[in-house]
């Protein structure tokens, strides 16, 4: 075993722990959520894009980054359009004046059209950009962190559910192949192979096959020792149940405290925190009766620390900036001013760029385990 801070062979291709990517991306997203400074937001998007392009594997799930970027653009466009058509004007710099339409009374307060001001457009743009940036950061995590490796890192208490998700991920592409095969069989019976009717006709044999498979799979899992546990005493079980129950009740009280009048934030928050910790503790405790181990768990070495740390650093820098120098994080739009780059936040973003170098390169040639269809599928029908 290597020490926890082992660097691993430098530059040796391997998979970075998916958790590290998520910490990094969530740190970036947190930073984005703290600011309405368009320049800063654009830099955050830039950082995400650079790291993704440097460390993204060639797998179907990894192609989702582009989708998230498109989603982000859509959010901005929608936000601005809504402002244009429905928004109340702020400020005085009128750009154009759209014809206004009054809506019936039951839509009281909604007014279509009217004067469009630069100020209100900027406000909508910045607001949309912030949400889009958060979405894009999450998209970065989606395309950098391998889902099947993420599943390997689920805590022991969720192992069973993790297994069913692995089964689902492996089996879903196979189902698509099954549908093709069954549609071929429909052709053999002289039936339609396209259109909704054909899909419906093909669905049943595929579903039946899938259900049959689940029984075979279960028998195989049972025979291979799945679900082995050591014995638990009744006393211990009762204790676990008590802790779980207490935790859940506390979490409920805490949650309702947050939305009820007259309770303090600190008390409710604490209650919720304590409740969640107790219930999770109970689950973890009860999972310890399982005797499973894990094969080649993803290590958490120096690169993981560096990547995750850079995410935390950027979040901390931005939160600190918004705390001490709030002016730099907001860009006034009434009257419009040019945005500036606050020093501390920019430093944080520079740190967030480092994973493009510190994360180990992707093993090549990489074949996606989860989604790759057999090469040259020979449809046997």
Partner 1 sequence: MSRHAVRLGGRSIAAIVSTTAIGIVAFGWPLLASPESTAVAHADDAPWLFVVVIPLLLAVVLAQFTDGGMDAKAVALLGVLAAVVAAMRPLGGGTAGLEPIWVILVLGGRALGPGFGFSLGAVALFSSALLTGGVGPWLPFQMLGAAWVGLGAGLLPRATGRAEIVLLAAYGAVAAFAYGLLMNLWFWPFTEGLPAAIAFSPGAPLSENLVAWLHFTIVTSLGYDIPRAVLTVVLIALAGPTILSALRRASRRANFGAVPVFVTEAQ
Partner 2 sequence: MIRFDDVSITYDGRTTPVLEHVDLHLREGELVLVVGRTGSGKSSLLQAINGLVPHFTGGTLSGRVLVDGRDTRTHPPRELADVVGVVPQDPASSFVADTVEEELAFGMECLGLPNDVMRRRVEETLDLLGLHELRSRPLLTLSAGQQQRVAIGAVLAAHPRVLVLDEPTSALDPSAAEEILAALQRLVHDLGITVVMAEHRLERVVQYADRIIIVPGDAQPVAIGTPQEMMRLAPIAPPVVELARAAGWHPLPLTVRDARRAAGPLRELLVGQPPPLRAVAPDGAGETLVQATDLSVRYGTRWALRGVSLSVGRGEVVALMGRNGAGKSTLLNAMVGLRTAASGSVMTHDHDPASLKGSELLQSVGLVPQQPGDLLEATSVADECRAADRDASVTPGTTRALLALLAPEILDGVHPRDLSEGQRLLLALAVVLAPRPPLLLLDEPTRGLDYPTKLRLVDALRDLARGGHGILLATHDVELAAEVATRVIVLADGEVVADGPTADVVVASPMFAPQVAKVLAPFPWLTVSDVITTIGPLILRTHAPISGDAVG
372 counts as binding partner 2 under rule CB under 8 A:
yes
Site mask for partner 2 (CB under 8 A), range 110-129, x = bound: --------------------
Binding-site member from 1, 108, 364, 376 for partner 1 (CB under 8 A):
108
CA distance 328 to 319: 12
Tokens 């007014």 belong to: 111
Binding-site member from 64, 94, 148, 263 for partner 2 (CB under 8 A):
148
Least distance CB 155 / partner 1 (angstroms): 8
Q: Which does 255 bind (CB under 5 to 8 A by kind): partner 2, partner 1, none?
A: partner 1
Binding-site member from 129, 135, 349, 351 for partner 1 (CB under 8 A):
135
Nearer to partner 1, 6 or 294 (CB): 294
Least distance CB 195 / partner 2 (angstroms): 14
Can you say whether residue 296 is alpha, beta or left, with left for phi > 0 and alpha for psi between -120 and 50 degrees?
A: left
Please, which residues bridge with residue 336 across strands?
A: 333
184 counts as binding partner 1 under rule CB under 8 A:
no
Binding-site member from 67, 212, 238, 260 for partner 2 (CB under 8 A):
212
Nearer to partner 1, 95 or 210 (CB): 210
Binding-site member from 99, 195, 196, 216 for partner 2 (CB under 8 A):
216
For the chain, the residue count is 381
Q: Which does 190 bind (CB under 5 to 8 A by kind): partner 1, partner 2, none?
A: partner 2
370 counts as binding partner 2 under rule CB under 8 A:
yes
**Sign of the dihedral defined by the CA atoms of residues 356, 359, 365, 368, in that order:** negative
CA distance 365 to 369: 12
161 counts as binding partner 2 under rule CB under 8 A:
no
Residues in touch with partner 2 (CB under 8 A): 148, 163, 166-167, 169-170, 173-174, 181-182, 184-185, 187-191, 201, 204-205, 208-209, 212-213, 216-228, 291-297, 367-370, 372-381
């Amino acid at each position: 075993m290597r020490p926890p801070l082992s660097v691993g062979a430098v530059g040796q291709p391997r998979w970075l722990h998916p958790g590290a990517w998520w910490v990094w991306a969530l740190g970036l997203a947190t930073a984005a959520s703290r600011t309405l400074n368009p320049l800063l937001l654009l830099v955050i998007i830039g950082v995400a894009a650079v790291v993704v392009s440097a460390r993204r594997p060639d797998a179907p799930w990894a192609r989702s980054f582009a989708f998230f970027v498109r989603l982000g653009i859509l959010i901005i466009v929608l936000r601005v359009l809504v402002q244009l058509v429905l928004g109340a004007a702020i400020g005085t710099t009128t750009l154009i004046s759209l014809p206004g339409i009054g809506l019936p009374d039951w839509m009281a307060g909604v007014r279509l059209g009217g004067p469009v001001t630069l100020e209100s457009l900027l406000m909508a743009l910045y607001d949309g950009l912030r949400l889009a940036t958060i979405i894009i950061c999450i998209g970065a995590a989606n395309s950098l962190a391998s889902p099947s490796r993420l599943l390997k890192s689920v805590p022991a208490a969720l192992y069973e559910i993790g297994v069913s998700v692995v089964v689902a991920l492996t089996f879903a592409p196979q189902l698509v192949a099954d549908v093709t095969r069954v549609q071929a069989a429909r052709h053999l019976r002289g039936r339609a192979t396209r259109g909704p009717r054909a899909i419906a006709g093909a669905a049943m044999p595929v579903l039946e096959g899938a259900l049959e498979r689940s029984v075979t799979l279960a028998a195989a899992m049972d025979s291979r020792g799945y679900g082995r546990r050591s014995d638990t005493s009744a006393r211990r079980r009762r204790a676990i149940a008590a802790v779980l129950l207490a935790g859940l009740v506390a979490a409920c009280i805490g949650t309702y405290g947050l939305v009820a009048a007259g309770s303090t934030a600190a008390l409710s928050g604490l209650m919720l925190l304590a409740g969640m910790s107790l219930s999770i503790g109970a689950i973890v405790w009860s999972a310890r009766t399982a005797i499973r181990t894990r094969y080649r768990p993803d290590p958490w070495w120096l690169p993981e620390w560096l990547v995750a740390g850079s995410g935390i650093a950027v979040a901390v820098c931005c939160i600190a900036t918004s705390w001490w120098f709030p002016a730099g994080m907001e860009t006034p739009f009434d009257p419009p001013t040019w945005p500036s780059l606050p020093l501390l936040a920019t430093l944080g973003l520079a740190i967030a760029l480092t994973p493009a170098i510190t994360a180990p390169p992707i093993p090549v040639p990489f074949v996606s385990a989860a989604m790759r269809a057999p090469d040259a599928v020979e449809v046997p029908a």
